[in-house]
Amino acid sequence: MAKEEYKELMSCIGFGGDSAQACGFHVTAKIEAEVVELAKVHAKEAHGVEEISPEDEKKIKSNIKSVTVEVKK
């Protein structure tokens, strides 16, 4: 297996008040843009957020971390 760098968001950024802290949202993807898009889908489907503000998108991006994962080649 090879090691590659992925992007990861480990928690919801606060959509939906207190329920967001316990919703368990977690996503890992190859690129940051995919993580952001999946976070937007999550916000809409899990918390009823129809539109992400520029501030919320910045908050999402600031919480994305790089991780090393093992992938099959």
pLDDT in tens, the chain (73 residues): 899 999 999 887 766 555 445 688 899 999 999 999 999 999 899 888 889 999 989 989 999 999 999 988 7
Tokens of 18: 């207190």
pTM of the predicted structure, to 2 decimals: 0.83
Pairing of strands 27-29, 65-71: unpaired
Give the total number of structural domains in the chain: 1
